[in-house]
Amino acid sequence: MKPLEGCRIVVTRAVEQASELVSRLETLGAQVLLLPLVEFAPPEDFAAFDRAIEQIERFDWLVVTSRNVVEFVSARARAIGVNLAAQLSPATFRPRVAAVGHATELAAREAGWRVDHVSSGRTGVDLTRELGDKIGGCRVLLPRSDRAAGDLPRALAEAGAEPVEVVAYRTIASAEGDPGVLAAIRAAQVHVVSFASPSAFRAFVERLGEETVRNLAGKTRFAAIGPTTAQAIREAGYAVEIEAKVATAAGLAAAIASHCGAHPAEKGRMR
């Protein structure tokens, strides 16, 4: 048997980001149910975003924390006629580029950007700690979601940097939702619900209601793509039984497979 054969896994990623995780889970034998909970949209006001891109050489560092950030920054640069691949090529020295995680690094390199530092940790705070005195007194451009947490800019400021935050994209609750998938979750007829962001988990609770989500405890497992998402779920008062060691679709699929393989009885309760 494949490790996830007999398992029903809910994927809550945005539609445009779900394909790799769905494919990996299905290859491992899972029945995948799609419930996109968040969508991504451009900022409502581009002024600060555009100014940062047009004056990017005035920053010492550009910190990118996700593939989303890279994609929205790249798209906006093209829209306003800025050649970021040239601005961030190996021939330039400012700004230096730091990426959180290898998935973000790959996205940046695919966009033609030079990457000077890749965090060996899994969060932006880890990256700040690694850079240490390299960022003291530096202006750091931090393009982010409008719903990003405040821990990274605080860590940068505490390290002596001047973080300049700009909204690169908005994270909004999705209006989609298959009634059949929602009914299966409410009835605890799924083994795992996976989350790739704190925003997705918050949307999950809003969609189903706190009482329903608490009633899932002990029946349906919550899986987080990385420590930031796991922390947000735990801070909301819920358990995270599955956390990816590497914050990628492959890492999340592997963590789910490992958990389900170690707990075969959980598969049996729905047969």
Where the chain has pLDDT below 50, the residues are 271
CATH 3.30.230.10 fits 41-170, yes or no: no
Distances (CA, A) of 81 to 54, 88, 107, 210: 9, 15, 20, 46
pLDDT in tens, 11-42: 999 888 899 999 999 999 999 999 999 999 99
Range 266-269 contact pairs with CB under 8 angstroms and sequence separation of 24 or more? 266/191, 266/221, 267/6, 267/7, 267/191, 268/6
Task: Tell how strand 162-173 and strand 38-41 pair up.
Answer: antiparallel
What is residue 31's predicted lDDT score, i.e. its pLDDT? 96
- Cβ neighbourhood burial of 91 (10 Å; 0-12, 13-18, 19+): exposed
pTM: 0.84
What is residue 32's predicted lDDT score, i.e. its pLDDT? 97
CA dist 169 and 147 (Å) reads 9
What is residue 174's predicted lDDT score, i.e. its pLDDT? 86
